[in-house]
Amino acid sequence: MDLGRALQGFWESTGLVNFTWGQTVMILVGLGLLFLAIKKKFEPLLLVPIGFGAILANIPLAEIANFTENGFIGILYHSGVENGLFPLLIFMGVGAMTDFGPLIANPRTLILGAAAQFGIFVALLGALALGLTPWIDFNLFDAASIGIIGGADGPTAIYVTSRLSPNLLGPIAVAAYSYMALVPIIQPPIMRLFTTKKERMIKMEQLRHVTQLEKILFPISVLIVCIILLPTATPLVGALMFGNLAKESGVVNRLSDTLQHALINIVTIFLGLSVGSKMQADEFLKLETLGILVLGLIAFSIGTMTGVLLAKLMNKFSRHHQINPLIGAAGVSAVPMAARVVNKVGQEENPHNFLLMHAMGPNVAGVIGSAVAAGILLAIVPVFG
Amino acid sequence: MSVMQQGLVLMVTGIAVVFAFLIILIIITKFLSVVVQKYFPEKAVQIKPTSPVVQLSGSTPGSTGRGSEPATGAQIGAGAQIAAAIAAAAAYSKR
């Protein structure tokens, strides 16, 4: 009897023998993400699947994240993240959940959504500069994908990266989603730094009522502008506006309901697990990852800053309709978290100042803005590369 | 062109296009809003005279007796309930 050999075979197939230190570290990181999600309630909808995916992907021998071994998360990743499908499905759901009303009522806040995209391009330059150092190897494609983290829009970041530099999908997706979760921590100090107490207390006039017809015409006109100016952005903008029209038209409530709930929830599960699974030790524990995390943070902070500064600049030109510069910070997408943060910071100065609806304007403008920026990167980078 | 130059070109075009796109969108949105508000104003929603104020304070008891609205009785009941709920909420908030 080969009992000895059988026991040895079993021993060699236990997790205990096959763990590498990197896998142990990444499983601890996954547990850390779960702790943040469950105990600290940081974006649990994202961090629970991501954290769990990170744990599953680092189990030795199981090959859960390996597509060629038919690992189940590997299959999810291959079929929806690698080709950019899941981000677009998420965008449909986001569109169906978005109310462009505040933006239509106060269209000039659209410009704040543009200002906050500065961070994308500053981080792009930063990544190129890092690429010149001997330790880190970033080309223009990588730099564009890293910059888009500054759009603070997870689906957009994943979509662009899957097109431009798929090898960086893991760290970029993790950075994009972590910074979205960390909005309440990253943004307020920057917002306070660039505004005075008086500015933070500015009250804005109430938004007018927006008719249904305006809400129906808005997604269509955005799509038309996009078709004419920037076809490379139409997958993202098209998905967003389809979802929004399904909601605002009022005639396909069943579809809108599915987009807002069932579809986006299912895709969030798939996307979260897939993103988490890219936190594999051998791919993740590199110097490049650290660079991406730092640059992402810089991109995000600069976007917040430029949004606030442009809002202040707008006040210089229009004395009658003052805007509270805090709402500029919401220009970095991250819907609706960034708008909630604006409201909270505003209420710290004046508990009776309700900025939430005002901040929703730049907030949804930021989604359009980062989709447009993504379209530009997708259009120009391959030409240079 | 060095990589940094490419990056700078990308930055300038990128920012310019994002701003141009959203400024065009501002103009279009404003234009559409003006057109819609001028030519297609939203009709004010007709509120049927079943609100408790009308029914309860109205000194025309005959108005409910026309029989044209079979559900009137039930509506009065609902209206009264709502009025009671509002009064209770108001009283509660004043405590």
Q: What DSSP line would sit under A203-231, residue for residue?
A: --PPPPP--HHHHHHHHHHHHHHHHHH-G
Average confidence score pLDDT of chain A: 91
Assigned domain for B86 exists: yes
- Alpha-carbon gap: B43 to the closest alpha carbon of chain A (Å): 10
Q: What is the pLDDT of residue A177?
A: 82
**Per mean pLDDT, which range of A1-15, A198-212, A271-285, A309-323 is the poorest?**
A1-15
A31 CB-near residues (< 8 Å, 6+ apart): A51, A55
pLDDT interval class at A47 (50, 70, 90): confident
Handedness of CA B27, B30, B36, B39 (dihedral sign): negative
- DSSP H or E run through A325: none
Q: What is the pLDDT of residue A169?
A: 85
Average pLDDT over residues B66-72: 47
Contact in structure between A26 and A56 (CB atoms under 8 Å): no
- Alpha-carbon gap: B19 to the closest alpha carbon of chain A (Å): 6
Average confidence score pLDDT of chain B: 75
Same domain for B13 and B35? yes
Same domain for B57 and B29? no
Assigned domain for B47 exists: no
More confident: A57 or B66: A57
Q: Report whether pLDDT(A214) > 90.
A: yes
Q: Note whether B29 contacts A110, CB cutoff 8 Å.
A: yes
Name the residue among B1, B21, B29 with its Cβ closest to that of A230: B21
Closest alpha carbon to A96 in A336, A260, A335, A263: A260
pLDDT interval class at B48 (50, 70, 90): low
pLDDT interval class at B85 (50, 70, 90): confident
Q: What is the pLDDT of residue A246?
A: 97
Assigned domain for B88 exists: yes
**Per mean pLDDT, which range of A192-206, A259-273, B75-89 is the poorest?**
B75-89
Same domain for B32 and B56? no
Contact in structure between A127 and B20 (CB atoms under 8 Å): no
- Alpha-carbon gap: A5 to the closest alpha carbon of chain B (Å): 58
- CB contacts < 8 A (A, B): 117
Q: What is the pLDDT of residue A319?
A: 76
Give the whole-angstrom CA distance, residue A33 versus residue A16.
23
Could you tell me the residue range of the domain that residue B86 belongs to? 52-61+68-94
Sorted by where each begins, the domain ranges of chain A are: 48-384
Q: Work out how many domains chain B is built from and give that number.
A: 2
Query: pLDDT tens digits for A223-256?
Result: 999 999 999 999 999 999 999 999 999 999 999 9
Name the residue among B3, B26, B33 with its Cβ closest to that of A111: B26
Two structure tokens written together for A44: 């649990």
Name the residue among B22, B29, B40 with its Cβ closest to that of A114: B22
Q: Note whether B21 contacts A229, CB cutoff 8 Å.
A: yes
More confident: A284 or A97: A97
3-class secondary-structure state, position A267: helix
B-chain residue closest to A224, CA distance: B25
Does the N-terminal peptide bond of residue A336 adopt cis geometry, omega within 30 degrees of 0?
yes
Interface of B with A in 36-75 (CB under 8 A): 36-37, 40-42
- Alpha-carbon gap: A364 to the closest alpha carbon of chain B (Å): 12
- Alpha-carbon gap: B95 to the closest alpha carbon of chain A (Å): 21
State ipTM: 0.89
Same domain for B8 and B33? yes
Closest alpha carbon to A341 in A183, A219, A206: A183
Q: Report whether pLDDT(A41) > 90.
A: no
Q: What is the pLDDT of residue A15?
A: 77
Burial class (CB in 10 A: 0-12, 13-18, 19+), A172: buried
pLDDT interval class at B62 (50, 70, 90): very low
- Alpha-carbon gap: A114 to the closest alpha carbon of chain B (Å): 6
Query: pLDDT tens digits for A146-164?
Result: 999 988 888 999 999 999 9
Q: Note whether B22 contacts A129, CB cutoff 8 Å.
A: no
A-chain residue closest to B30, CA distance: A107
Please report residues of A whose CB lies closer than 8 A to that of B25: 107, 110, 221-222, 225, 368
More confident: B95 or A201: A201
Please report residues of A whose CB lies closer than 8 A to that of B30: 107
Query: pLDDT tens digits for A168-200?
Result: 888 898 888 888 878 888 999 999 999 999 999
Q: Note whether B36 contacts A218, CB cutoff 8 Å.
A: no
B37 CB-near residues (< 8 Å, 6+ apart): A211
DSSP state string for A50-98: HHHHHHHHT-TTT-TT-TTTT-HHHHHIIIIITTTHHHHHHHHHHHHH-
Interaxial angle between packed helices A234-249 and A85-97, expressed in degrees from 0 to 180 and rounded to the nearest 10:
30
Average pLDDT over residues A58-86: 92
The residue whose two tokens read 């938004």 is A207
More confident: B95 or A5: A5
Same domain for B38 and B56? no
Chain B interface disruption, residue of A376, A377, A383, most B CBs within 10 A: A376
